Chain A
Amino acid sequence: MRRLTLALAVLGALLLAVFGANARGGQDARAAKEPVTISFWVPFTARELGVINSALAGFHKKYPWITVKSTGNTNPTKLTAAIRGGNAPDAVALFETDTLGAFCSSGAWLDLSSHIKSDKLNMNIFPKTIQNYTAYENKRCALPLLADAYGFYYNKAMLAKAGLKGPPKTLAQLSAYAKRLTVKNADGSIKVLGFNPLMNWYQNSPVHFGPITGATWMKDGKSNLAGDPNWAALLRWQKSLVDWFGYENLIKWQAKAGDEWTSSNAFESGKLAMNLDGEWRTAFVKADAPNISYGTAPHPVSKPSLYGSGFVIGSIMGIPKGSDHEDEAWLLLKYLSTDSKAVTGLSLGLRNVPSTLPTLRNPVLRKDPQFKVFLDIFANPKSSTQPVLKIGAQNQTLFSTFISKWQAGHVASKDLHAGLANVDKQIDAAIGQSGQVP
């Protein structure tokens, strides 16, 4: 009996030693040896997808046991269907932050706070705006994948030909330049447009134009379109320019303008003299139309104190619920958002703004004079971003529909404030319906 107990004890100790050792050292051994493949869905396509893949190669070099399989052309709809259907990828990146509110509040994207704490990641490595748009009501569900800043592109040759010096800095100047730079055909239709004041075209949208007058979307959890006079100022300025060109003429010109993402882009093919666009356009111009002589600057603003700021946003990355490899996905996210070599490489390849403050000051990125402008816009403290709401971008859609009526002349000038108040009412009702508590 005693011999049996002794034998069992020895056996037990042996087992403990073997498995116990494996449990600890084995984990490192497993982590170092057992290869893992994780799926990473990204919204990029074509050339940009290639850039992402090179960054992923760098990640694989740093963590050789993790292979990342990337899939391009994803969007929030596909991701939601995948999460619900149980086919969610291990990590995902999206171009817009519109769905962050819905994903974060429902747990579709995991809360990253525990990982941030255990890895001791200091969030102040990112600018304040990034911290704002990667969290929903203080729950951080996303990390930034580079960022975007919006500024002003202008065709230097056209400006010089018209005898205009430098980019316009105020809205009044912008209007004047736009009128001077417009060239008409013999039949009165527009051949070259100075500036397109119509919204809901290319990058012209209320969310991008808001910072021009310093307008804000929300106040105390309620929609602030009527309450903030800057919106009305923006819309009135825009409408006066639309009326000068003639709404129908602009629509006809738009119909002839090429597709935004191809080489027939209106600005790149010389049909448009000045345009609001993001910093990525510098890469497109270099690829599609390297001979065009253009300059970049902060967008003209309504008040001189605002000059130098603009709209900023970024792509975000998260770990969907149902991810099989949460730890490896976290390593990927951390790498792509904070590793300076990766971020610099991505920034150079995609011509996006880097996400971390140290990389923002990297002289390598600041070499390109046209690109440097956007880095400064991004760092400008007055630059702003869109609020993260559970209804996503529905507030922008509702506002855009109103603006499309306004710019077509179907809303009388005196009814502007009432119209904006009505849009506020719709937005607040939608927020209430979604269950988000202000």
Chain B
Amino acid sequence: MTSAPVAGALPAVVVRDRRRAKRKAAWRRRGLVLLLMSPWLVGFTVFFAYPLVMSAYLSFTHYDLLSAPKWVGTANYRYLFEQDQQVWPAVKNTLWLMVVFVPAQVLCAFGLATMLTRARYGAGVFRTIFYLPALAPTVAATLGFVYLLNPGTGPVNVVLEHLGIPTPLWFDSPQWAKPSLVLLGLWGIGTMMIIFLAALIDVPRHLYESASLDGANAWQRMRWVTLPSISPVILFAVVIGVIDSLQYFTQAYVAAAIASGQAASEGPTSAGYPEDSTLFYPVLLYLQAFSYFNMGYASAMTMLLLVVALTVTVLILRSSRLWVFYAGARR
């Protein structure tokens, strides 16, 4: 539609062409986005969204993989919450990980990183030494530790005996099995330590200087300068630690299998050795799903895991507003 040209306005043809060009550009952009995002779209649907929905569906069925799923309503959930006596130990063990292991990891990583910042000579060498165990493949490290902590012949107990210290049974004792796993985990703390190290180095020096000028001692400097500055990294470490503890499987499964004397894929009955002390929730889930092929019930277990994971993560992130300090940028 032609309109009388107004002073300063563009001719209508130009406006229309520009609009058409813009729309074409917009379509081309959408096409580009679709092209770039296509792998993720397919992957997310097939390997995340669909399985999530299927898990929810299967949790209401009895499914052993050999015949079609059979609808049983809430029977699986009733079994989960009321009758399966292995669930509560599994939940307790996983909670123990979250409450004991995660803080231990954060403290250890932070402690080691702090030590490294204070080293004047050979910091690089020490850093390498601390990081090396983190490179060891999980299975290798677990096997190594099960041997090292062998209650009869392992070097650790041999040395302790020489020193006259009472020797625990480590992976063969229900009280010491989880602490043994913690030791194994702390040995591989290198990755988190490097992250903390980078964050510590990034703390602006002038903050420390003005703090000491104000009369703060070492502890106060740490409390009021270091910790707030690296609080985003602490949050990151805590979230990662919690996610890992909710998925903790390999070390527990392999350690139990080896300590009880069975090969890993041959002896599912060794899971949780000794006395269900290493029976973490993911281990029990694996047992139910892939040893007993109780897949409907295992799906119910995954639903519970999902709820717990979401809740805990949201709680941590919510709480982070209280104690995490992002210098400069607004989130």
So, do A and B actually touch in the complex, CB under 8 Å? yes
Q: A-side interface residues toward B, CB under 8 Å?
A: 75, 77, 80, 83-84, 102-103, 106-108, 187, 189, 200-202, 248, 251-256, 259-260, 321, 391-394, 396-397, 400-401, 404-405, 408, 410, 422, 426, 429-430, 433-435
Comparing B24-32, B99-107, B210-218, B292-300, the segment that makes contact with chain A is: B292-300
CB distance from A11 to the nearest CB of B (A): 48
Interface centre among A83, A259, A404 (most CB of B within 10 A): A404
CB distance from B266 to the nearest CB of A (A): 6
Q: Is the CB of B290 within 8 A of A401?
A: no
19 new A-B contacts at CB < 8 Å, known A401-B272, A401-B275, A433-B62:
A77-B268, A77-B291, A103-B66, A106-B64, A106-B66, A251-B151, A254-B152, A254-B261, A255-B151, A255-B153, A394-B292, A397-B269, A404-B273, A404-B274, A422-B85, A426-B84, A433-B83, A433-B294, A434-B294
A-B pairs with lowest CB-CB distance, top 3: A255-B152, A106-B66, A256-B152
- State whether the Cβ of B323 lies closer than 8 Å to any Cβ in chain A: no
Contacts of B161 in A (CB 8 A): 187
CB distance from A422 to the nearest CB of B (A): 7
Q: Is the CB of B65 within 8 A of A391?
A: no
Contacts of A430 in B (CB 8 A): 84
Question: A102 vs B169: C-alpha distance in the bound complex, in angstroms?
Answer: 38
Question: A400 vs B67: C-alpha distance in the bound complex, in angstroms?
Answer: 30
Question: A80 vs B169: C-alpha distance in the bound complex, in angstroms?
Answer: 36
Closest to A423 in B: B85
Question: A392 vs B173: C-alpha distance in the bound complex, in angstroms?
Answer: 28
Q: Are A400 and B269 CB-contacts (below 8 A) given A80-B65, A260-B261, A433-B83?
A: yes
- State whether the Cβ of B174 lies closer than 8 Å to any Cβ in chain A: yes
Q: Are A252 and B151 CB-contacts (below 8 A) given A77-B290, A107-B66?
A: yes
Q: Is the CB of A255 within 8 A of B66?
A: no
Which B residues from 190 to 242 make CB contacts under 8 A with A? none
Question: A433 vs B233: C-alpha distance in the bound complex, in angstroms?
Answer: 46
Q: Is the CB of B293 within 8 A of A408?
A: no
CB distance from A72 to the nearest CB of B (A): 13
Q: Are A108 and B66 CB-contacts (below 8 A) given A77-B265, A394-B292?
A: yes
Contacts of B274 in A (CB 8 A): 404, 408
Interface centre among A251, A393, A433 (most CB of B within 10 A): A433
Q: Is the CB of A102 within 8 A of B172?
A: no
Closest to A255 in B: B152
Closest to A429 in B: B83
Which B residues from 31 to 77 make CB contacts under 8 A with A? 62, 64-67, 70, 75-76
Interface centre among B75, B85, B272, B276 (most CB of A within 10 A): B85
Which B residues from 226 to 266 make CB contacts under 8 A with A? 260-261, 265-266
CB distance from B165 to the nearest CB of A (A): 14
CB distance from A202 to the nearest CB of B (A): 8
Contacts of A408 in B (CB 8 A): 174, 274-275
Question: A200 vs B161: C-alpha distance in the bound complex, in angstroms?
Answer: 27
Question: A80 vs B266: C-alpha distance in the bound complex, in angstroms?
Answer: 14
Question: A408 vs B274: C-alpha distance in the bound complex, in angstroms?
Answer: 10
**Which residue in A102, A202, A401 is a CB contact (below 8 Å) of B293?**
A102
Closest to B266 in A: A75
Contacts of B272 in A (CB 8 A): 401
Contacts of A107 in B (CB 8 A): 66-67
Closest to A253 in B: B152
Contacts of B151 in A (CB 8 A): 251-252, 255
> Can you give 7 A-B contacts (C-beta < 8 A)?
A77-B268, A102-B64, A202-B261, A251-B172, A392-B292, A400-B269, A426-B85
CB distance from B62 to the nearest CB of A (A): 6
